[in-house]
Amino acid sequence: SSEVLEAIENVIEDVFKSLAQKKAPVLTLANRSGWRNIEFRDSVGLQMIPHCTTKQIRSDCPRSAPKFALMLKILSMIYKMVQTNTYATKRDIYYSDTLLFGSQSVVDNIINDISCMLKIPRRSLHILSTTKGFVAGNLSYTEEDGTKVNCTCGATAVTVPSNVQGIKNLISHAKFMLIVEKDATFQRLLDDDFCNKLSPCIMITGRGVPDLNTRLLVRKLWDTFQIPIFTLMDADPHGVEIMCIYKYGSVSMSFEAHHLTVPSIKWLGLLPSDLERLNIRKDVLIPFTKQDQNKLASIQKRPYIACQPMWKKELEIMAASQLKAEIQVLTSLSSDYLSRVYLPNKLQFGGWL
C-alpha cells in the first residue's frame, strides 16, 4: 500500500510543480487503444511495449480538462481507500456522484487509465469489480475473510470471488479445466453432472466476454494446478475473440498481460471443421452478418494467428462457409450429445487445437 500511496503522491507533486512554475498541469497516459503499442510474445500473449506512444490529458484544454479533473477526483478516492484499508467497487465509485461522472463506462475507463499510468494492478488500488463469472466442479478454497468455499456441491455454481488475489488454500483433484463461453451451456453441463461423470474437472464461465476477476481466477488456477485448460466456444468470430482474450489477452489490458493470460489454453470446440465432420444440417447454421465478416477478418490479421497454423485453417473454413453455429446446435443430433458424446470423445482422443 505504501507503493500505491507514493505513486499517487508523485502524480500530485508533478501537478503542484507545474502550478508553481505557472504552467498548466498535464497527466501523461499510455495509449491503450491501438495495436501500435502492442507486441505479441508467445509466453505472455499481447503485451504493451516499454516505450509506447502516449497521450496527454491537459488541464488547460477544454476537451480534456473534464477528464483531468475526474482523474484527480478518483485518485483522491483511491488514496483515501488505501490509507483506511477499505475497498469499493467500480459501481460504488460511479454512484458516489453520478452527475459528475455521467456514466459507468467513464469511471471504468479512468480506473484502467490510472492503473496503467501508475503501473499498479487494479486490485492493489482497492477497487473491486462486480463479478459476473461462475465456477463449479472439483475445487475448494478459502476467501480472504476466512469463508470456506466448496465448488463441488451439485447443480449450483459459485460466483467467481471479487478478490481473486486474496483466496488461499486452493485444493483440487481436477484432471483438466473447461472454460465455457456461455451461461446456458455451462448450466446444461452442470445439470448433466459433467464435472464428475468423465473425470473430476473444474468448469468456469465468464458468461460471454470475461471480466477481470474471471480471467484472474483462470490464471490463478493455472499457476496453482498446472492442468490442461480447454475452451468450449460458439463456432463464430465472437467465440474465437473471447477465447483469444483468455489465451492472449486484450489490447486495452495489455499492460497487465502477465497476470491475466494463459497462453497454453487449447481450443476444444466448437470447431468449424466439427460442423462438417458431424454432418450438422445447414438449416440449423446461421449466415454471417457484415459485422461477423469484419470481426473474422480482423482476427485473421492478428499476430498470434500466424503462429497457430491449425487455428488459421479453422478460421479459413469459417470464412469460406460464411456460416456460424452456436454450441446448442449439437442438440440437433440429440439432447445430451454435448456431454454424452462430443466432449468425452474430444477429451479422450485429443480433438483439440
- The Cα–Cα gap between 274 and 351 comes to 10
CB atoms under 10 Å from CB of 302, counted, come to 17
Cell numbers standing for residue 261? 493470460
CB 39 within 8 A of CB 258: no
| Start-to-end Cα distance in the chain | 42
Segments in 85-205 forming alpha helices (H):
90-95, 98-101, 104-118, 183-191, 194-197
- CA-CA-CA-CA torsion sign (58, 62, 64, 68): positive
Which of the following is catalytic: 79, 87, 94, 95? Answer: 95
Are residues 160 and 204 in contact, defined by beta-carbon separation less than 8 angstroms?
yes
Report the alpha-carbon angle 253-254-260, nearest 5. Answer: 75
**CB-neighbour burial class of residue 169 (10 A; exposed 0-12, middle 13-18, buried 19+):** exposed
Interhelix angle 65-84/2-20, nearest 10 degrees: 140
Q: Which pairs from 189-194 meet CB under 8 Å and 24+ separation?
A: 189/338, 189/339, 190/136, 190/155, 190/156, 190/157, 191/155, 192/336, 192/338, 192/339, 192/340, 193/155, 194/339, 194/343
Active site (annotated) includes residue 141: no
Residues belonging to the active site: 95
